[in-house]
Amino acid sequence: EAAVTQSPRSKVAVTGGKVTLSCHQTNNHDYMYWYRQDTGHGLRLIHYSYVADSTEKGDIPDGYKASRPSQENFSLILELASLSQTAVYFCASSESGTKDTQYFGPGTRLLVL
Amino acid sequence: GDSVTQTEGPVTVSESESLIINCTYSATSIAYPNLFWYVRYPGEGLQLLLKVITAGQKGSSRGFEATYNKETTSFHLQKASVQESDSAVYYCALGASSGSWQLIFGSGTQLTVMP
């Protein structure tokens, strides 16, 4: 019973198309995050949220939107997918009191052609 | 800026051999960084392996150890005798103990343990 799940686990998208990545957590955590990882690089923060119906920009938000409709769910939206957005995307959650101890999902491998 | 540099992979060792994965950090905007090792097993998400919040202290978990060395800005991961089940990707990371919440990750080190 994984506490952070992501869907889909992998996806192939076309350039200019819309992509939605979903994340669900059962940790009862307030904070949720979206990171991307490119080959040979560390994870970089795209968006995060500390309460439902509110999202904040991370280090690399350009080209991405986020949505937090409930405490459990957090989506990452690519309105116009581009080749440069090919990466592995990780979702994570954390408690308010220990925000830097984060619990991660298994990742979504996105290939944009 | 804030950054983490770790041993480039892949690293291959034989079972029962010792292991060290180097990690150094730069925390110019974080006064008292917390240091982490995360591990990603095949097909799974990153899991917290160990966390140390005080300089000079050592963290340990599953036979792995890492000491927070503020003088050398290092947090190397060590294990005396690895097992095949330790094969995974290991990530060093730093985070703030207050104020900013962000985690800064290294690029990861792929470890393969040969039987």
Tell me the per-residue pLDDT of A63-76, one tens digit each, with 9 for 90 and over. Answer: 999 999 999 999 99
CA distance A72 to chain B (A): 17
- The residue behind tokens 């957090």 is A74
Quote the pLDDT of residue A40: 81
Chosen from B24, B44, B46, B100 to mutate, greatest number of chain A CBs within 10 A: B46
Chain B residues inside the 8 Å CB shell of A37: 108
Separation of alpha carbons A16 and A78, rounded Å: 9
**Cross-chain CB nearest to B106 (options A42, A90, A106):** A42
Chosen from B8, B98, B103 to mutate, greatest number of chain A CBs within 10 A: B103
Strand, coil or helix: A63:
coil
pLDDT greater than 90 at residue B1? no
CA distance A99 to chain B (A): 6
Eight-class DSSP state of B73: T
How many angstroms separate the first and last alpha carbons of chain B? 41
Separation of alpha carbons B96 and B101, rounded Å: 6
Do the Cβ atoms of A107 and A6 come closer than 8 Å?
A: yes
Contact B101 A100 (CB under 8 A): yes
Quote the pLDDT of residue A100: 75
Q: What is the pLDDT of residues A55-105, one digit of tens each?
A: 999 889 999 999 999 999 999 999 999 999 999 999 999 987 677 788 999
Chain B residues inside the 8 Å CB shell of A43: 91, 103, 105
Contact B45 A100 (CB under 8 A): no
